[in-house]
Amino acid sequence: MSNVATARETRDAVRAGAASAVEACRSALARLDAAEPELHAFNTVAADRALARAAAIDRDRAAWRDAPLAGVPVAVKDNICTRGVRTTASSRALERFIPPYDATVIQRLEAAGAVVIGKTNCDEFAMGSSTENSAFGPARNPWALDRTPGGSSGGSAAAVAARITPLALGSDTGGSIRQPAAMCGVVGLKPTYGRVSRYGLIAFGSSLDQVGPIATCVADAAMVLRVLAGHDPADATSAPDGVSDYEAALTGDIRGIRIGVPRQMLAEGVDPGVALAFNAALDVLEARGAALIDIELAHARFAIPVYYLVATAEASSNLARYDGVRYGLRAGGHDLHTMYSSSREAGFGPEVKRRIMLGTYVLSAGYYDAYYLKAQQVRTLILRDYENAFTRVDAVAMPTAPAPAFRIGEKTSDPLQMYLTDVFTVSANLAGLPAISIPCGFSNAVPGEARLPVGLQLTGRRFDEATLLRIGDAYERDTPWSKHLPPHPSR
């Protein structure tokens, strides 16, 4: 199989008998072996399991004739449970954890014929924006190995950008699919909260988390979303709404689509190269027939502090289960309290500890009303801003990240600067809205250095992923960015 084949092309070749699922799997594993010493995109490679599953598809090809992902190799973020395959959330606390069940998204992927080849590196418990918080070392950006791939789904984005697999799953709590997709030059989609089951996703922020696809093109993202989406009785927050035919929405016609642009919000703090690529993308959309409308998101400037109050509070609650008693790392101790504290001390990294302490503080007596309750009230105002905007527009456009991929180690000493890389992405999670990042060019921060990808983000109405995919596909048809390949690993 070609190392630049899309998921659709791979599927079609397998279904037609032009290639076997085993060939597609072996090709992906070969690319992984070649890339992994440089990228460190994977925590666990499930080669034997993947080849056995691919062989089973080949033996009964007729049964998979109509499968939407027949034989397609897929990488999965290491915070999504896979039965019999180590799932660590990139944490020492779960370093040896092997789940006894599959997450719903894994069940649906495999029912559609996908072949999971491994689990990708991420920030520990999905807490971070650079994959540097992984207990197993950072992943690297295939466009420039000294740069982060973004986070927290950095390994998944790097794997797709390097064309190890045409598809990967990530999770998005405050931008963790879209931001690494932008920094690695691929497509990343965060569905509406409740659109895709969270059953089997290791929880970070339960009112914010959502699983979604990372792909080389919009059409592949639409294809896999249709597989993943839909009600799941195992997830109490799963929406009962019916699933759209997302691929049918990719008509190329966006005439009359109204796109809101919060220009005042973008006036400061955006890298000049990012601003240039973003404005050029707006020109392409306008030339396609979309109408650009200035809007205001008055409370967006509060999104970062609101997010880091709500998310840390939920993290504090969710991570209380890692006490060394039931599963995960257990450190020694002469009494229960010592065992708890020593297990958490050994199991959690600095960023996870920081967020647990922040979250515990804002939930504590005397501070709950001043911090957590106030944050939830402002969260409602952020949602209302979007609801008001959607009375006038069909989608909201902004850069996915204010700057291209930064150097590994550049922001680790200043957590606040790291948090600000999510300034344009967290609002979609706080409001529960769908959002997509699409490659829209490159930013050269310093002449002579590596070209670094830039992402265009589109945010839409609840459960209207189809419109975002339609706009993204139309943009992709008129631009070359999704066809560009990174230099690493060397080809």
Token digits of residue 105: 């998204």
Instruction: Give the pairing of strands 435-443 and 452-460.
Output: antiparallel
Element (H, E) at 45: strand 42-45
Token digits of residue 167: 């598809």
Q: Name 69's Cβ contacts closer than 8 Å, sequence gap at least 6.
A: 7, 11, 109, 112, 113, 114, 167, 223, 224, 227
Q: Name 37's Cβ contacts closer than 8 Å, sequence gap at least 6.
A: none
Gap between the Cα atoms of 437 and 216, Å rounded: 11
Q: Could you give the count of Cα atoms lying within 13 Å of 94 in the half-sphere of its Cβ?
A: 23
Catalytic-labelled residue, pool 27, 77, 190, 427: 77
**Residue appearing with tokens 């302490």:** 357
Token digits of residue 442: 């490159």
Catalytic-labelled residue, pool 129, 130, 152, 171: 152
Gap between the Cα atoms of 312 and 97, Å rounded: 24
| DSSP per position, 178-208 | HHHHHHHTSEEEEPPTTTB--TTBPPS-TTT
Gap between the Cα atoms of 117 and 109, Å rounded: 12
Is residue 255 packed enough to be buried (19+ CB in 10 Å), middle (13-18) or exposed (0-12)?
A: exposed
Gap between the Cα atoms of 193 and 209, Å rounded: 7
> What beta strand segments (E) does 84-234 contain?
115-120, 167-171, 187-190, 211-215
Catalytic-labelled residue, pool 27, 171, 176, 244: 176
What does each C-alpha distance from 228 to 35, 353, 469 come to in angstroms? 28, 32, 15
Is residue 216 packed enough to be buried (19+ CB in 10 Å), middle (13-18) or exposed (0-12)?
A: buried
| Residue 316 annotated to the active site | no
Element (H, E) at 459: strand 452-460
H helical segments located in 400-458: 415-419, 426-431
| Residue 77 annotated to the active site | yes
Gap between the Cα atoms of 275 and 294, Å rounded: 16
Token digits of residue 32: 């992984």
Gap between the Cα atoms of 63 and 66, Å rounded: 8
Beta-bridge partners for 436? 189, 458
Residues taking part in catalysis: 77, 152, 176
